């Protein structure tokens, strides 16, 4: 049993004896201040009300009744308003390192998702141009969230929705047509709302079909751009399980069926030649048009039809990663799903929204990519700083905050660069084993006496490693990869600290063996954490 579990069990037993109500959960947490001990609980404060006693009196009783030896506890203090602080025996803390090695790359995984299906949709760019940095943030976020969910026991499906129908595609087609005419020497301006990037000329140049066949031009442009985006995603190392085409919703009459069902529900009305949905019944600030007076549908109608397919495909949980500039769609899509009245939960789908990305180089904002014209592409970024740095930088801030991507920092091979810093900690641990092997030292970890790991830096590092599973679980539950990123930074710091202060190789064999276990455990945790974020853990740098 893990030390924390032992304490929790003992606290549970005492709480019951004291007459705590059923369902009282005992929360153990790391005290913010290390001087307060290894674990703390506020259970005495929680029980104060139901037991009608002072928190400190309850805490005192718990302290007296606590059977410390079995739980590996060295001392218990009552502090502050009624906290119980536990200090563990050093060898109990150290024993965790052995468990980590045993679990290996499975360390940190859990099964709280129970294998339930969850759909994670992200990027979902219109095939009207190369992916820009915002899509990059989405790709990093979506992929990491998907992996975190996998690590916590969910059956995850990564999905990409191509908006290959509608007005944007029409604009794309007209833009390419204009460039085709231009190539023949005609004057042909890009239409309003059209695309001006250099890539439009490339698409026109590679077109070999009928010059006046608009459907052919459209098909060519869309397929070229999809191929282009696939290359962007491949460069980023993201793989999707499903590519869902918006056009298929029209082909399969899903859009018509959805409109029909919404009309049947009585939540729609005709007004000024358009068909409206009463989204105000579901918290929107005004009703929304479904069918425009030109007979075509507004974008959110296929979006509703699309989410109905997710539901029917067995995803009781769906998560959409999007730019916050699209946040107004949230209410509309959910309203449409509710109006259908087919038992879809109100909060379906869940949204993870992220704020803007700005790229800086030399302290100046970079605004333009040559190929795309008006924005910086993901590919530019990956080419310049590498996939790992791009991913980490996109993940280290919470989605709610705008993100400034400092290209100079991301490229830097120094410890100021957070990715480099974490990967370096991993490489250093690997270096110990590499050098050890060269010296003929057996770096196996069997028969180590971990109670020798008593240095403060060692105890602190081990405690951080012990927290890894909880960090993964918390990060996954909150859909917030940046938590894990922060954790890795802190853990890397502790690993560097330990490495600087204490040598492994060249120590007396028993101590060396114990430290080899710790080095291996640290290496495993950092590697697992990086992998959960989609970042590699190089063995040397």
Partner RNA sequence: GCGUGCGUAGCUCAGUUGGAUAGAGCGUCUGCCUCCGGAGCAGAAGGUCGUGGGUUCGAGUCCCGCCGCGCGCACCA
Q: How far is the CB of 81 from RNA (least distance, A)?
A: 4
Determine which residue in the list 470, 502, 507, 536 makes contact with RNA, applying CB under 7 A: 470
| Among residues 14, 46, 472, 516, the one that binds RNA under rule CB under 7 A | 46
Closest CA to 504 of 494, 521, 517, 491: 517
Residue 445 CB-half CA count within 13 A: 19
CB of 284 to RNA, least distance (A): 9
For RNA, the binding residue among 31, 191, 237, 538 (CB under 7 A) is: 31
Other C-beta atoms closer than 10 Å to the C-beta of 187 total 7
> Which of 22, 25, 69, 285 forms a contact with RNA (CB under 7 A)?
285
Could you say which of 305, 403, 464, 495 contacts RNA (CB under 7 A)? 403
Angle between helices 43-51 and 55-65 (to 10 degrees): 120
Give counts: helices (H), strands (E), the chain.
Answer: 20, 15
Q: Contacts with RNA in 184-223 (CB under 7 A)?
A: none
The answer to whether 446 and 434 have CB atoms below 8 angstroms apart is no
Query: What pairs with residue 274 in β-bridges?
Result: 271
Residue 321 bridge partners (DSSP): 352
Q: Is 327 in the site for RNA (CB under 7 A)?
A: yes
**Quick check: 174 binds RNA (CB under 7 A)?**
no
Q: Output 98 or 469, the one with its CB closest to RNA.
A: 469
3 state SS of 112: coil
- Burial string for 105-121 (b: 16+ CB within 10 Å, else e) reads eebbbeeebeeebbbbb
29 binds RNA (CB under 7 A): yes
Angle at the Cα of 55 from the Cα atoms of 467 and 83, rounded to 5 degrees: 25
CB of 46 to RNA, least distance (A): 6
Is 505 a binder of RNA (CB under 7 A)? no
Q: Is the CB of residue 153 less than 8 Å from the CB of residue 110?
A: yes
> Which stretch, 251-259, 383-391, 396-404, 522-530, contacts RNA (CB under 7 A)?
396-404
Applying the rule CB under 7 A, the residues between 287 and 306 that interact with RNA are 288-289, 292-294, 296-300
Residue 50, interface with RNA (CB under 7 A)? no
Q: Which of residues 234-263 bind RNA (CB under 7 A)?
A: 246
Cβ 290 to RNA, closest distance in Å? 9
Nearer to RNA, 193 or 509 (CB): 193
Asked if 271 interacts with RNA (CB under 7 A), we say yes
DSSP H or E segment with residue 119: strand 117-121
Residue list 81-110, contact with RNA (CB under 7 A) = 81, 83, 85
How would you write 438-455 as a 3-class SS string?
HCCCCCCCCCCCHHHCCC
Instruction: Select from 103, 235, 478, 505 the one that contacts RNA (CB under 7 A).
Output: 478
Contact status: 496 vs RNA (CB under 7 A): yes
Residue from 12, 80, 373, 386 touching RNA (CB under 7 A): that is 80
CA 165 → CA 211, 307, 327, 407, distances in Å?
21, 16, 21, 35
The SS3 of residue 223 is helix
Q: Which stretch binds RNA (CB under 7 A): 79-87, 175-183, 254-262, 522-530?
A: 79-87
For RNA, which residue of 13, 36, 109, 201 counts as binding (CB under 7 A)?
36
SS (H, E, C) 253-274: CHHHHHHHHHHHCCCEEEECCE
Site size toward RNA, by CB under 7 A = 75
């Amino acid at each position: 049993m893990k030390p924390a579990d032992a304490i929790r069990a003992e606290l549970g037993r005492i709480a019951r004896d004291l007459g705590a109500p059923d369902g009282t959960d005992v929360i153990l947490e790391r005290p913010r201040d290390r001087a307060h001990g290894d674990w703390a609980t506020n259970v005495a404060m929680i029980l104060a009300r139901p037991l009608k006693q002072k928190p400190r009196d309850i805490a005192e009783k718990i302290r007296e009744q606590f059977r410390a030896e079995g739980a590996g506890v060295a001392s218990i203090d009552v502090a502050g308003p009624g906290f119980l602080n536990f200090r563990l025996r050093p060898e109990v803390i150290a024993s965790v390192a052995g468990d980590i090695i045993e679990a290996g790359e499975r360390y940190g995984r859990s099964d709280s998702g129970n294998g339930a299906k969850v759909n994670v949709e992200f990027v979902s760019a219109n095939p009207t141009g190369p992916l820009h940095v915002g899509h990059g943030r989405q790709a990093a976020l979506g992929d990491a969230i998907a992996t975190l969910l996998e690590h916590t026991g969910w059956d995850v499906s990564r999905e990409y929705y191509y908006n290959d129908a509608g007005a944007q595609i029409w604009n794309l087609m007209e833009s390419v047509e204009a460039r085709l005419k231009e190539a023949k020497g005609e004057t042909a301006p890009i239409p309003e709302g059209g695309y001006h990037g250099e890539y439009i000329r490339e698409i026109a140049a590679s077109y070999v079909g009928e010059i006046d066949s608009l459907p052919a031009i459209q098909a060519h442009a869309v397929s070229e751009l999809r191929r282009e985006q696939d290359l962007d995603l491949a460069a980023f190392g993201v793989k999707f399980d499903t590519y869902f085409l918006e056009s298929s919703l029209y082909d399969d009459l899903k859009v018509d069926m959805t409109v029909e069902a919404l009309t049947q529900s009585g939540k729609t009305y005709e007004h000024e030649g358009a068909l409206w949905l009463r989204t105000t019944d579901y918290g929107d600030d005004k009703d929304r048009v479904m069918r425009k007076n030109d007979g075509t549908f507004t974008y959110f109608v296929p979006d509703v039809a699309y989410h109905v397919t997710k539901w029917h495909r067995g995803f009781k949980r769906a998560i959409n990663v999007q730019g916050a500039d699209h946040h107004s769609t949230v209410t509309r899509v959910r309203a449409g799903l509710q109006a259908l009245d087919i038992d879809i939960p109100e909060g379906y789908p869940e949204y993870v929204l992220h704020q803007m990305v700005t790229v800086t180089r030399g302290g100046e904002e970079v605004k333009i990519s040559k190929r795309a014209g008006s924005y910086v592409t993901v590919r530019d970024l990956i080419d310049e700083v590498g996939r790992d740095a791009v991913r980490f930088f996109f993940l280290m801030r919470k989605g709610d905050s705008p993100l400034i991507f400092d290209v100079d920092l991301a490229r830097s091979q120094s410890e100021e660069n957070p990715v480099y810093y974490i990967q370096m900690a991993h490489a250093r641990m690997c270096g110990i084993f590499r050098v050890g092997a060269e010296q003929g030292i057996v770096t196996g970890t069997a028969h180590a006496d971990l109670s020798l790991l008593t240095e403060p830096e060692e105890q602190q590092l081990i405690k951080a490693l012990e927290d890894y599973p909880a960090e993964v679980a918390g990060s996954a539950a909150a859909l917030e990869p940046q938590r894990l990123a922060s954790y890795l930074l802190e853990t890397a710091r502790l690993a560097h600290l330990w490495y600087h202060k204490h040598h492994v190789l060249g120590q007396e064999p028993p101590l060396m063996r114990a430290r080899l276990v710790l080095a291996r455990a640290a290496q495993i945790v950092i590697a697992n954490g990086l992998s959960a974020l989609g970042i590699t853990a190089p063995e040397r740098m």
